[in-house]
A and B are shown apart, each in its own frame.
Chain A
Amino acid sequence: MVVGDVTTSTDVLVIGAGPGGYVAAIRAAQLALDVTLVEKGEYGGACLNRGCIPSKALIHGSKLASEAGQAEELGIYADPTVALDEMINWKDGVVDQLTSGIEQLCTAAGVNLLKGTAEFADENKVRIIHQGEGQGSESLKFENCIIATGSRPIEIPGFGFEDERIVSSDGALNFDTVPDELVIVGAGYIGMELATVYSRLGSDVSVIEMLEQALPSYEEDIASIVRKRAERLGVDFHFGYTADSWAASDGKAVLTAVPADEAAHDSDIELTADRILVAVGRRPVTDTLSIDDAGVETNAQGFIPTDSTCRTNKEHIFAVGDVAGEPMLAHKGSKEGEVAAEVIAGEPAAVDYQALPAAVFTDPEIGTVGLTENEAANKGMTPVTGEFQFQASGRALTANRAEGFVRIIATKETERVIGAQIVGPEASELIAEIAAMIEMGAKLEDIGSTVHTHPTLSEAIMEAAQNAREKAIHRRN
């Protein structure tokens, strides 16, 4: 790439430096392609700056504070006070360390970095609009393009984020002080994670959810463990209500919620809050790209449909990560980024994972991979399941964290493992073992016969696999 006032060109243009884009850029550079990565904001995308990473930092900080104050059972007496601004500063330090790391990795790999917003001029050219008035723009021709523009929080009518009292997850990760009263709209994973954080830090948290269950996309026996724990932390749930409107009153916000189903509830409810967090989902960012000028098609929800090589309807334009559709997970984006880069370099790559792990960092954590029992049955398989409760795990008891269980799903005829759900301590880490096992085509016996370290939480996985074969030692089969 030659930078000047003429149109420059590059083999691979990557738009967006989130976990999909930066991975694609680095991999493409490793494969000896000339790569240009355009980013309008911070390196690392929503994941590092406004999502996974900062939320995990606050989850850790709030957990430490709350557990230190609740360990009288263990003979520990403490009354921690939290200076939220200092915790946020620490979190920002972590984020800065990681984002500058991304930038260094890209530079070291030989990726050309450009700051600005990319807009397609046609299917082989973008304009890069530099930040700030009068900073001008430059044009860039590309052989191949990888769109990795990610997603942004969905706004709901009447709850615009202009007013400082109404925040998305972005704002909720940067409060100056712990709000006395926090209302969260939406009991999905973002709502539940932040409900956990702020109730641990001392907020009175109320959650409104249209459906009758928290974490509605998870099985009821998993979601209810998390909900009960949140209720014990003091979170109030209002299921079956939708947020209708809000009004300012004495500097606070008063939210009116109406029944989602008139038959179930007969009256509206009013909730007062210092802050209202709207966490009803995320939508793809495809509206800023002039994507039509490239001839790239989007579907009704704004996602860019792609095939198993991450190609869009245009042979030379790829899309990865949130913008390419559900599930919106950083690691899915990274995998797709690698695949797109390798396909461009002519390698036989494809998105062909057997199962995609996912984690929710609530208390306790949830880790899932592959199919649930119901999904397997709906696909015409005959599933067998094995379970093991952490109540029977020595390690869970010694950590004073004995809620939850491991469930493993396999097919009856081959005993091949096809999925798992874990709710309990460190579920987000434990799920990795089963993901690897599924990816390697393991059977129940392979997991059950693998020696697991004692005493660890991972033994629960071995026991669950053995239970599916009616061979578990530490429970009745």
Chain B
Amino acid sequence: MVREFELPDVGEGVAEGELLRWRVEPGDAVSEDQPVAEVETDKAVVDVPSPVDGVVEELRAAEGEMVPVGDVIIVFRVDGEDGPKATETAPADDTTAGSGQQTEVGATAQPAEETQSEPAITQRVQVPAPPSVRRLARELGVDISSVADSSSGRITEPDVRAYASPESSTQERSSQQTTAAEQRTQQAAPAQSVSPAQTREVVDRETTVAVPKTRHIAAEEGIDLDTVPTDEQKDGEPFVTLEAVQEYAEAQQQAQQTDRDAVVERAAADEPARPESRKPYKGIRQTIGAAMTSSKYTAPHVTHQDEVDVTALVDARSTLRREAEAQDIRLTYMPFVMKACAAALQENPQVNVSLDEANEEIVEKQYYNIGVATATDDGLLVPVVENVDAKGLLEVASETNEKTQKARERSLSPEEMRGGTFTISNIGGIGGEYGTPIINQPESAILALGEIKKKPRVVEADGEETIEPRHIMTLSLSFDHRVLDGADAAQFTNSIQKYLQNPNLLLLE
């Protein structure tokens, strides 16, 4: 028995994935649930497990290939069966049926019951769209099967354009409704610089009188006499002289030359010969791009900035770090900040929300899941630590370490990146002070931490003011001004400051 295995929906509702790596080769024996491939979706890298015990017969996708969900990626031969014989029948429309010999070539053939090794064809998702429209979809980066999902009938060019950019298609549709006359004027509008000929009145007479030589020259120049401007008349009919024709022809040529120059100029401007290389914008990079663009342009971002004196926190961490090491846990500042944020969110529930625009509701969340933005070779991933409020510091630390490590190894599951209510981005690890982070939607706020630096600060003690070196960390809190106002952000930041200035307060949490 041959078993064809289609790429399952490895995320939830992803349409395709990039086959990163095969973990098996044809001929390998596999057991059920053994990972056979790594697939990167726009959300994560996922191991695809084998559905059966058997032998890998054929790999139907190349590493690096984008595979639509539902396409056969691998074919297994299920145990208890011989491999194919050279003599078994070949698929339709190609190889000839065999007669029955084992050859040293594996065969190109399969038994009739499993005919039609036409994976690429028969497994193709049926899309009711003609080739020209499918090509347009690829050109515009539109997934044609998604367009199919949104329309019940045959997919047309306007459908694809509408899917690609809703606005332009509205214009397109409305222009389809304009009158033919209007359309003509639109089309006639000069695309390039205005040329002498175009500045003149446009003429189109019924009849024109001219001497034969003039007619001959006009024909040679490809000029319609009825369009040549003239004030002269002969026998009550418009009369065109040879000079008028020549002048008109010259103006036309000049106009065309101007257009040609413009085209050449544009082409030259398009292609500077500079050393540059290109790489595909796809996968996680593309997903981040889409998410950031969408966030920036839907949520009015405001960034509230402040600093916090973390001298006590630096001391607390250096003491606790040894305790943590004894338990094999690396203790960074991040778990303290996470605990502080969870506590501050509890004090400022208006920040722990997301906006459900579709239902015109603000969702207030009574759980505190904190995302930690993690730089990886492929871009930024945000693993989420759940219920930070309910976990101890060391528990938060070890879970955060584990998840950020997984993010760097690209082994996070989509579940581990979902359900956050607030995100922290530690830019200070690399350097820098203030930033304007972009909100990780559907959350409503994000906190960027600057580097902890020693800075001179005025310290009040016993009524005395002195300038002392203090450990200072900067805070940049971007918030969604649709649901939060400046006062909310300031209060929330003050809460965070309170816990970071005095980490002992976290003991009460």
Contacts and interface: CB of A to CB of B under 8 A. Distances in A.
Nearest to B89: A216
A210 B121 contact: no
A328 B106 contact: no
B112 A354 contact: no
A308 B101 CA distance: 33
A186 to B, nearest CB: 5
Interface in B83-122: 86-109, 111-112, 115-118, 120-122
Contacts of B35: none
Given A154-B86, A210-B99, A360 B124 contact: no
A34 interface: no
Contacts of B120: 308, 325, 351
Interface of A: 154-159, 185-191, 208-211, 213-218, 241-243, 260, 278-284, 299-302, 305-308, 311-313, 315, 325-329, 348-356, 358-360, 368, 370-372, 375, 379, 411, 414, 416, 418, 439-441
Contacts, number: 215
Interface stretch (B54-62, B349-357, B495-503): B54-62
A371 B122 CA distance: 6
B14 interface: no
Given A156-B99, A313-B63, A351-B120, A326 B108 contact: yes
Contact of A211 (B65, B86, B88): B88
Given A282-B108, A349-B135, A242 B90 contact: no
B338 to A, nearest CB: 42
Contacts of B121: 327, 353, 355-356, 370
A281 B108 contact: yes
A281 B139 CA distance: 39
B456 interface: no
A187 B112 CA distance: 12
Contacts of A302: 105-106
B290 to A, nearest CB: 19
A191 B58 contact: no
A441 B154 contact: yes
- Interface size for chain B: under 10, 10 to 19, 20 to 34, or 35 or more residues? 35 or more
A238 to B, nearest CB: 10
Q: Is the interface of A mostly helix, strand, loop or mixed?
A: loop
B442 to A, nearest CB: 33
25 contacts: A156-B86, A156-B99, A157-B103, A210-B87, A210-B100, A211-B89, A214-B97, A242-B87, A243-B101, A260-B87, A299-B58, A300-B106, A301-B106, A307-B65, A308-B66, A313-B64, A315-B64, A325-B120, A326-B108, A352-B124, A353-B131, A354-B124, A375-B116, A441-B127, A441-B129
Contacts of A186: 96-99
Contact of B94 (A326, A370, A379): A326
Given A281-B86, A348-B138, A351-B120, A368 B97 contact: no
Contacts of A327: 91-94, 117-118, 121
B486 interface: no
B128 to A, nearest CB: 3
Nearest to B112: A216
Contacts of B94: 282, 326-329, 358
Nearest to B155: A441
Given A187-B97, A308-B65, A411-B126, 4 more contacts: A307-B66, A356-B118, A356-B121, A440-B130
Given A329-B93, A441-B154, A217 B103 contact: no
B131 A439 contact: yes
B27 interface: yes
A209 B101 contact: no
A241 B135 contact: no
B84 to A, nearest CB: 9
Contacts of A355: 121
A77 B109 CA distance: 44
A311 B107 CA distance: 24
B392 interface: no
Contacts of A368: 92-93
Contacts of B129: 441
